[in-house]
Structure formats: C-alpha cells, structure tokens
Homo-oligomer: A and B are copies of this chain.
Amino acid sequence: MRDEGDILVVRVIDYMGDDGAVVQAARVSYGRGTKKVSEDRGLIHYLLRHWHTTPFEMAEIKFHVKLPIFVARQWIRHRMANVNEYSARYSILDREFYIPAQEHLSAQSVQNRQGRGEVVGAATLTDDAQRNYDHYLDLLNHDEGGQQIRDDRQGLARELARMNLSLNFYTQWYWKTDLHNLMNFVRLRADPHAQYEIRVYAEVILDILEKWVPLTYEAFREHRLEAATFSGEALKALGRMLAGEHVEQLDTSMSKREWDEFLAKLELS
C-alpha cells in the first residue's frame, strides 16, 4: 500500500484539437454568416450558454487513470467514452489499495468527542485489505514476486481469485472521451455532492482543462460550475423579491427543501 497521494494518477496520453477545434466546428455550423462573430472567446461563451454542445465534441482527449475499484464503478457510468481497463482476468493486480486519510475518516465522525473511531477505521480497512491480498496470492499459488509457492497444487484461476479483493484495490485504465462529455463528467463529479474520492479526480481534470482549452475552461466555470438554475416557481419568487416584496416559503409552492436550495443559490441561506 502507498499513501493516498502517491496513487492518484490522471495522466494525459494524447489529445486532438483544442479551443480552436471548437470554434472551427461552430463556424461551419454557422457558415458565411459568422463573419461577424469574430471573437473566439465570445463564441465559446455563447455556445455554452445556449447549450450548443456539438462543437465541443470535436476535441478529444485520452487519459491513463489509476483509481480504486469503487471509484471506477461510478466513473464507468459515463457511457459516452472509450475504455480499456487492466484485466484481472488475465493479469495479477498489485498490492495497492486506498485508505482514506485521517481527515476524511474523521469528517464522517463530527459528533464523536473522542475522535478515535477513525483510527479503528483505517486499521480495519488496512488489515482486511492486506489479508485479502495475502489470500489472493495464496489462492493463485503465487508469491509477491510472481513465483509459484507450492509445486504440488495448481492455483485458482486469476478470474476467480480476484473476487477475494476488496473494492478499495486499485485498477487502471485508458479512458478517452470528447470535450463535451468530459465537461459533463466534471460538472457531475466535481460537484460538492459527489463522493470525495471521485471529486479529487474531477478536480485534477479541471486543472487539465484549464491548460488544454483555456477559453472553454473559463466559459465552463462561468456557465456551468458557478451557474445556478431556477425553476419556474423560483423565478416567480425572484421577481417578487426584486420588486421589493418580502417572500417566504409559504408564499410559494416550493417545498421546504426546494426553498432552502433556492436561498442557497442566492447565498441568502
């Protein structure tokens, strides 16, 4: 096992196109008439603001990612992508597993005065992962160096032995997608509601976006990450508030939960 920080790997393998490819594609869709839209930055903002998403599909990027299996299971739900994963059917996984850092374990135990639950958590997770891996090797009849342990029996097939590993073991894959779908990924996975363990990957990708496609990155922050959507009812309430009226939840048809979300978007909660 290595420290959490050592393992998180998001490496750009290759990419095709950048902000220029987005602009080029948008212009063919507007033809001659686009001569007036001379400014790339404004065009990219316009596209994102109006959900004209196809030009962003014209840029493509491929990553090598190393990630815990339980994170991979969330990640793979993004179907508009190409994936080649390291296969534990044919290969042997390394003794690499994820243990949350102290502060993330303790973040879950706010009300615990002693604050000792975390230590137990980390120790349990580590012990079980180590034992599971030891037994994985044993089932394979393999030692750490890949040598057969016992001559007098054959190991279990790799495709079966792997089932003894826990969900915090690391897998890796090549993952390739286009800029539009990458932004969808980041929007959903960099969100505060996303699990911390996938959010850290989304944030690394966000940094990569900034370097790769600076104009798209800026517009994406402005029109997606920092944006908020207001429902029809919320817009009505907003109109009344702007007209100077004092509005409370019961004056609207919003539920308590929706009202709280509404105030939070306005930073009034």
Question: Which A residues form the contact surface with B (CB < 8 A)?
Answer: 14-17, 21, 24-26, 28-34, 42, 45-46, 49-51, 54-55, 57-58, 60, 62, 68-70, 72-73, 76-77, 79-80, 82-87, 89-92, 98, 100, 104-105, 108-114, 116-117, 120-121, 124-125, 128, 131-132, 135, 138-139, 141, 146, 152-157, 159-160, 162-168, 172-174, 176, 178, 188, 193, 195, 221-223, 225-235, 238-239, 241-242, 255, 257-258, 261, 265-268
Let me know if B159 and A49 touch, CB within 8 A.
Answer: no
Let me know if A117 and B31 touch, CB within 8 A.
Answer: no
- Cβ contact of A108, chosen from B16, B154, B228, cutoff 8 A: B154
- Cβ contact of A165, chosen from B32, B76, B166, cutoff 8 A: B166
Let me know if B124 and A164 touch, CB within 8 A.
Answer: yes
CA distance A21 to B232 in the complex (A): 25
A227 proximity list for chain B (CB < 8 A): 229-232, 234-235
CA distance A165 to B14 in the complex (A): 35
A57 proximity list for chain B (CB < 8 A): 82, 176
- Cβ contact of A266, chosen from B49, B51, B195, B239, cutoff 8 A: B239
- Cβ contact of A116, chosen from B34, B153, B163, B228, cutoff 8 A: B153
9 CB-based A-B contacts, threshold 8 Å: A33-B90, A46-B257, A49-B261, A58-B176, A73-B73, A105-B156, A117-B155, A163-B167, A227-B231
With A26-B84, A152-B114, A168-B164 in contact, do A90 and B60 touch (Cβ < 8 Å)?
no
CA distance A39 to B70 in the complex (A): 30
Let me know if B153 and A124 touch, CB within 8 A.
Answer: no
- The residue of chain B having its C-beta at the shortest distance from the C-beta of A115 within the complex is B153
Let me know if A268 and B242 touch, CB within 8 A.
Answer: yes
A231 proximity list for chain B (CB < 8 A): 49, 222-223, 226-227
Let me know if B156 and A28 touch, CB within 8 A.
Answer: no
